[in-house]
Amino acid sequence: MSDMNTQELVDQVLRLREQVERLANQIEGLALPLGADPEAAMTQWLATPPRSAPPPKGDYLRRPRPPLPDPRLIQRIVRQRRLRERYFESELFADPAWDILLDLAAARADHRQVSVTSLCIAAAVPATTALRWIAQMTAMRLLVRHEDAQDKRRTFIALSDDAADALARYFDELGAEAARLA
């Protein structure tokens, strides 16, 4: 591997860390006060640059990516997230970015494709909101779009390799704790 390729990989890892941090900050910031304007909050979040990420620990270039967790674990996490809606207003816990990432992680681990329509349903928010999130996450290079070869009217969405890597490392770091959280 040449020095140029190594540097490009390091730069990609750093950009991915920044993107994941922005996403984590956004998820954390979704707990808006009642009556707050979500559109204004999103605009403010998108305009806020990410905090500088600490240098990566370890050698990410040589360490193989851990596998994504068992899709049943991810599906259990999603079911438990939906259970809250029996007791609280669903808008209180709206977290479409995380729901989208979880659904696509389970699909990738299951080797199945996810249509835009299916992903909008999985996001558990109005379709227009889900579509806006899909567009933003695609622009952030967390998601990739693929046209259906058989039906040009249908588009599939998948995790980018960088997003899949970040999720795999996230669940790997959680380890056995992830199963207890689910």
- C-alpha span between 166 and 172 (Å, rounded): 10
Domain boundaries, the chain: 67-181
Helix (H, G, I), strand (E, B) or coil at 144: strand
pTM score, whole prediction: 0.59
For residue range 69-94, list pLDDT tens digits in order: 788 888 888 888 778 878 888 777 77
- pLDDT above 80 (res 178): no
Domain 67-181 is of which CATH architecture? Orthogonal Bundle (1.10)
* Beta carbons within 8 Å of 36's beta carbon, 6+ residues apart: none
Confidence band, pLDDT 50/70/90 cuts, at residue 131: very high
